[in-house]
Amino acid sequence: MEDENIVIRAKEGDREAFDELYNAYKRPILNYLYRFIGNRHCAEELTQETFIRAYTNLHRYEPRAKFSSWLYRIAGNLARNFLRHASYDKRVRPVKVDPYSDASGDVLSTENIACPAKKPDENAHKKEIGAIIQQAIDHLPVHLKEAVILCDIKELSYDDAAKIMKCRPMTVGSRLWRGRKKLAELLDYMKNGEKEDEMRK
Amino acid sequence: MRCESKFKDISLYLDGEYNQKKREALEVHIADCPRCSKRIDDIKALRASLNQLAPIEESPGFDFEFNRLLDERLQSQGERSLKNRIRDAASKIVDSVIIPIPVTVKIAASFLLVVSLSWGIRAQMLQKVPFIEFCAGEARIYRQADNNWIATKPKMKLKAGDKIQLGTGAIVNIASKGRYKARLKDESLIVLSKLDSGLRNIDTDFSISYGKLLVNTTDKFKGSSMRIYTPACDAEVVGTAFIIEVLHKQTWIGVLEGRVRLLSKAHPLKAEKAKRISTYVSAGQEASTSLYSYSTMPELLSDKEWKSMLELYQLTEKPQVMLLIGTGSNRVDEFLQGPATVYIPDAIKRIIPNELLESINSVVQATKDDDLELVKNRTMELQDMLQRYPGPQYNVEILMFIASHLYYAHDYASALKVLEAVNKQYPNSDFASLAQCSMAAIYQNNLKDVDKAKMIYNQLITAYPGSADAIRAKEILSSQG
């Protein structure tokens, strides 16, 4: 594999080879972490930390697993730790969204999510919907969130996701359907809350 | 029809995780079920919207910041790297020397080690716990746990507090593997008052109310202890073979090997003032004690008592034919006095050919019939038989048996030949000196060849200076002047 050759060079201390890997994976990792913790600034910091850890621990990486899986695992661990500590630290807490109270005036409906192309002002609307979905993702339990991000956003197979999550493929499937169900419920709830809000108006 | 499929099934179905059979079944169902087709639409929509989430890009200066952080980290690591390099080199050496063993294997191995060790120790301790080896006649045992008298059975393990009662003519053999064997006889009542089994040693206390106890300890008994409490005294065993007999307030003890320490008992009312006197009874001696008085001076065993002591040999574990004869300096007289007897333990009966056993029995029978001619003939037959079936476990003993019987039948020439054979072929045997001494005695007493006798006695004294027979030889030579 191409990655593996580059990794071997990087292992020998070739900083340029590592830069190649860094450039190839920084965005996937950044997006993974962003979806995971829902805060852009923190996601960037954690992405940097991920690559620093990867560089200093390259000697521990064994080519049995894909290099990308290894990176995702480091990132996932950092994200989980971050979320655990974040619950005590309001400063870095991702934007608080309470499905029971509506703060934003955005319109959300399953039709809108399902067919975003219908809307004329596509880009602006996409952004809105993206923010809402991210808020819903933020409310998923960590292990379900991980499965949803890896399989439905990163579009990895059960097997690849299982390697990153260090579990069996069927566990990924199980977490995935529960994550999807919970996510659909959350979005549904947000939509209904919106309707009630409108009715009140 | 009720819809039984769940969100889970639809989710897995959409991800292509179902096999053909399940998939087809679900597809048939979905075609009819509006709820499920809605679910499919929902999940597909969710997936599409998640998939279309716009990826974010790093902020300007992200790469610069990363490189700065990385360099900073590497620098701080570099400061520790010298230490680390030394440590790494050391660990590499250790790794190359010691084959890496997974932690689980280590844990399993140490667990196994602990289990097997404790099992081994337990087995060692259990092995020495005395058990009933053999019982015959009317014998019963009382256990506190059972609260009932039950008949003794072989292989029964004994516990502290066990009471054993025997009727007339009964025998119970108690054995502690490798430490001692004991035999209870006739009308007896004994209590196993204490039993401590250690890793190497075993401490046993017996209390005898009345009856007879024979004890024979082995070489390994050293370090173990045994005390026997009788109404009249306490007896402490010092690596030994002895018989103790308790008759009401009288205790008699005869010792065959080693010695036994007798401790007299003081009257309870005078207990504080009275001294307890201990008496050592050594091999070949007997002593008796009665209640609240000191033991008699140990005296030599009488012939009759001596014969009864020979029963102790039956208790020893060696699977060997035994010539029933003492170890004292007068054993030559004993040997020549009447035909010697042999004891053949059950364990060796499997090794000895039947023809040989029958031949021995026919000699014994002829002796009982007191037909000297027949004894001589039968003994000659036995000699032939032994040549045909020789065996290291019994050769010497049976040869001595033959010699004794030939002498008994007044065939001195043949007896001398056999004794000479024993002396020459088995110079390291216990009986070599006895054979030589017997030869001298025969020359002196029966053939009246005093010079020859003197010569053999002198040879004996130089060849076996420490033996009981050499002591006897010196006595005879000095009495002759």
pLDDT tens for each residue of B227-254: 888 888 888 877 667 778 887 778 888 8
pLDDT in tens, B430-452: 788 889 999 999 998 888 888 99
Residues B335 and B253 in one domain: no
Q: How far is B83 from chain A (nearest CA, A)?
A: 16
Where does a domain end: A94, A109, A128? Answer: A94
> For position B238, which CATH number holds?
2.60.120.1440
Nearest chain B Cα to A27, which residue?
Answer: B57
Taking CB atoms and an 8 Å cutoff, what residues of chain B touch A114?
41, 45, 48-49
Mutate to test the interface with B, among A50, A109, A152 (most CBs of B within 10 A): A152
Residue at token pair 């939509």: A191
pLDDT in tens, B333-359: 888 887 888 877 666 666 677 888 889
Residues A82 and A1 in one domain: yes
Q: Do B46 and A40 touch (CB under 8 A)?
A: no
Residue B66, in any domain of the structure = no
Long-range Cβ contact pairs of B197-200 (< 8 A, separation 24 or more): B197/B125, B197/B126, B197/B128, B197/B129, B198/B125, B199/B121, B199/B124, B199/B125, B200/B224
Sign of the alpha-carbon torsion through A165, A170, A171, A174: positive
Residue B254, in any domain of the structure = yes
pLDDT in tens, B23-61: 888 888 888 888 888 888 888 888 888 888 888 888 888
Residues B215 and B271 in one domain: yes
pLDDT at A118: 45
b or e along A162-172 (b: 16 or more beta carbons within 10 Å of the residue's beta carbon)? Answer: bbbbebebebb
Residue B231 CB neighbours (<10 A): 19
A110 touches chain B (CB under 8 A): yes
Q: Do B12 and A34 touch (CB under 8 A)?
A: no
pLDDT at A201: 56
pLDDT above 70 covers what percent of chain B? 90
Residues A124 and A75 in one domain: no
Residues B333 and B409 in one domain: yes
- Choose among A126, A178, A184: nearest Cβ to B42: A184
Residue B373, in any domain of the structure = yes
Residues forming a β-bridge with B139:
B166
pLDDT at A175: 92
When divided into structural domains, chain B yields a total of 3
Residues A59 and A124 in one domain: no
Sign of the alpha-carbon torsion through A105, A107, A110, A112: negative
Whole-number Å distance between alpha carbons of B167 and B240: 27
Measured at the alpha carbon of residue B439, what is the angle toward residues B436 and B445, in degrees to the nearest 5? 140
> B49 and A116 in contact (C-beta within 8 Å)?
yes
Structure tokens at B66: 């990363």
Q: For A61-92, give the DSSP string.
A: --TTS-HHHHHHHHHHHHHHHHHHHHTT-GGG
Q: How far is A138 from chain B (nearest CA, A)?
A: 13
Residues A18 and A110 in one domain: no
Q: How far is A201 from chain B (nearest CA, A)?
A: 29
Higher pLDDT, A191 or A107: A191
Mutate to test the interface with B, among A181, A182, A183 (most CBs of B within 10 A): A181
Domain that holds residue B466: 318-480
Residues A141 and A196 in one domain: yes
Is pLDDT above 80 for B393? no
- Contact partners, residue B212, CB within 8 Å, separation at least 6: B184, B185, B186, B188, B243, B244, B245, B246
Residue at token pair 């009630």: A196
Higher pLDDT, B398 or B275: B398
Residues B140 and B33 in one domain: no
Q: Do B11 and A48 touch (CB under 8 A)?
A: no
Q: Which of B253, B76, B130, B27 is nearest to B19 (CA)?
A: B27
Q: Which of A18, A61, A77, A76 is nearest to B67 (CA)?
A: A18
Residues A4 and A84 in one domain: yes
pLDDT above 90 covers what percent of chain A? 27
Whole-number Å distance between alpha carbons of B176 and B174: 7
Q: Which of B265, B189, B18 is nearest to A177 (CA)?
A: B18
pLDDT at A104: 39
For residues B155-164, average pLDDT:
84
Structure tokens at B32: 């009819």
Where does a domain end: A50, A68, A94? Answer: A94
pLDDT in tens, B178-221: 788 888 877 888 888 888 877 777 888 888 888 888 888 877 77
Nearest chain B Cα to A34, which residue?
Answer: B56
- Contact partners, residue B180, CB within 8 Å, separation at least 6: B204, B215, B216, B217, B218, B221, B224, B226
Q: Do A181 and B11 touch (CB under 8 A)?
A: yes
Whole-number Å distance between alpha carbons of B339 and B361: 13
Sign of the alpha-carbon torsion through A22, A23, A24, A27: positive
Taking CB atoms and an 8 Å cutoff, what residues of chain A touch B45?
110, 113-115
Q: What is the ipTM score, two decimals?
A: 0.77
pLDDT at A73: 92
> A140 and A176 in contact (C-beta within 8 Å)?
no
Nearest chain B Cα to A46, which residue?
Answer: B66
Residues A35 and A127 in one domain: no
When divided into structural domains, chain A yields a total of 2
> For position A176, which CATH number holds?
1.10.10.10
pLDDT in tens, B281-333: 877 788 888 877 777 788 777 777 776 776 776 676 555 677 777 667 778 88
Residue B470, in any domain of the structure = yes
Residues A116 and A166 in one domain: yes
- Choose among A44, A130, A180: nearest Cβ to B43: A180
- Choose among A44, A56, A184: nearest Cβ to B62: A44
Residue B239, in any domain of the structure = yes
Structure tokens at B3: 């819809």
Mean pLDDT of chain B, nearest integer: 81
Mutate to test the interface with B, among A177, A183, A186 (most CBs of B within 10 A): A177
Residues B273 and B199 in one domain: yes
Residues B371 and B423 in one domain: yes
Residues B303 and B325 in one domain: no
> For position B376, which CATH number holds?
1.25.40.10
For residues B106-132, average pLDDT:
84
> For position A15, which CATH number holds?
1.10.1740.10
Is pLDDT above 70 for B139? yes
Residues B474 and B392 in one domain: yes
| Residue A46: pLDDT band with limits 50, 70, 90 | very high
Higher pLDDT, B273 or B225: B225
pLDDT in tens, A91-145: 444 444 444 433 333 334 344 444 444 445 666 777 778 888 888 888 889 889 9
Residues A59 and A156 in one domain: no
For residues B463-472, average pLDDT:
84
Q: Do B17 and A51 touch (CB under 8 A)?
A: no
Residues A133 and A69 in one domain: no
Domain that holds residue A159: 99-201
Where does a domain end: A94, A117, A143? Answer: A94
- Choose among A34, A55, A152: nearest Cβ to B50: A152
Residue B81, in any domain of the structure = no
A119 touches chain B (CB under 8 A): no
Residues B216 and B278 in one domain: yes
Nearest chain A Cα to B64, which residue?
Answer: A48
Residues B217 and B186 in one domain: yes
Alpha helices in B409-467 (DSSP H): 412-425, 432-445, 450-463
Is pLDDT above 90 for B255? no
A176 touches chain B (CB under 8 A): yes
Residues A52 and A74 in one domain: yes
Residues B339 and B274 in one domain: no
Residues B262 and B177 in one domain: yes
Residues A15 and A81 in one domain: yes
> B249 and B232 in contact (C-beta within 8 Å)?
yes
Residue B185 CB neighbours (<10 A): 20
Residue B44, in any domain of the structure = yes
Q: Do A180 and B74 touch (CB under 8 A)?
A: no
Higher pLDDT, B108 or B196: B108
Nearest chain A Cα to B10, which residue?
Answer: A177
pLDDT at A149: 92
Whole-number Å distance between alpha carbons of B404 and B419: 9
